[in-house]
Amino acid sequence: MSLVKKFNNKYLIKIGIKLCQLVPRKMGLAIIEPFTSVIVSMKNTDLIKAVRSNQKVISGDESLTASELDLRTKAVLRHALTCYYDFFRNINNPEKMSALFPTADELNREFEQATKTEGAMVITPHLSNFNLLFQVITEKGFRAKVLTLSNLYSGYSVINKIRSQVGAEIVPVDEGSYFSETVEYLKSGGMAVTSVDRPVPTRKHKHQINFFGKPSALPVGYISLALAAGVPIIIVTTFMKADGLYEFNFSEKIYLKEYQNKLDDMLLNGEMILKKIEELIKQAPDQWLMYYPVWPDQLNQEL
């Protein structure tokens, strides 16, 4: 059964938005707990297999037992549902959404300072509630091209529509001449935003890139864009704190190196960036919301 496909259905997401807006937060969080237990019990689904596999790999030396992995997987799903609830419930209430991310103005100032003299490629792992973070800063004036896939499940179109309504420019990376247009935009001082930890199923083995010490099918297109435009990379993440509010992490500018061939440009620079993302994920592994198997060859191992 494909839970990933079912949960990314546009009609289900629209229903979820309506329900979240009707249910007060205390009640919403109470409902999330048993719902999480039901989902985690579906161990033969693609969603649970992927989360368990991903969490087992990133646990590294922790050597999680099966029961500990169950608890970690449940924590990931609980956090994911909480993030969706906070985002969906407050879509039409910018003030309440801003209250959940009180340092949004500070983040926008970081962006302004970093791009005073040049553009930047902004990359984001799927940590915590980036949808909420992005919505709040865009409401407050942040502008960038958002690079995304157009041919994923129908639910993605709902999220992208929400983003575009507050001023985001959605750019499908699998359509048209996005690359050349994005490079020119970056050269002119603009910013482009994309995620970097969703695997590419068609990635050839020789093009796989090490992540947490194992070859992974992660994308490297952002490396090509940054090198072609001559701009640095900035890593931006969000985390939920113990009080239920969200904070951000903003990296220094990361300038890429040029090697003797394009494959080294992609893989060596990509591994350097992913090493930094590894450290961020390790800070809150149960807030890494990746529902696709990043290491497919690990998927069918004993979990």
85 and 223 both lie in a single domain: no
Q: What is the CATH number of the domain that holds 260?
A: 3.40.1010.10
Domain boundary among 42, 64, 92: 92
Q: What is the pTM of this model?
A: 0.89
The residue among 289, 239, 240 whose CA lies nearest residue 126 is 289
Number of compact structural domains in the chain:
2
Q: Are residues 16 and 101 in the same domain?
A: no
pLDDT of residue 279: 94
The sign one gets for the Cα dihedral 156, 280, 278, 281 is negative
Residues 77 and 164 both lie in one domain = no
Tokens of 177: 């001449």
At 167 the pLDDT is 66
Residue 164 is assigned to a structural domain of this protein: yes
Same domain, 243 and 189: yes
Q: What's the confidence (pLDDT) of residue 169?
A: 77
Residue 299's pLDDT is what? 65
Strand, coil or helix: 265: helix
> What SS3 class is residue 225?
helix
Measured between alpha carbons, how far is residue 20 from residues 17, 24, 132, 290 in Å?
Answer: 5, 8, 14, 22
Same-domain pairing of 127 and 54: no
Q: How far apart are CA 275 and CA 280, in angstroms?
A: 9
Expressed as residue numbers, the domain containing 32 is 3-92
Q: Are 106 and 136 in contact (CB under 8 A)?
A: no
Tell me: do 61 and 198 sit in the same domain. no
Q: Is residue 168 situated within a structural domain?
A: yes
Residues of the chain with confidence (pLDDT) below 70: 1, 4-6, 8, 61-62, 150-157, 166-167, 175, 203, 298-303
CA 95 to chain centre: 24
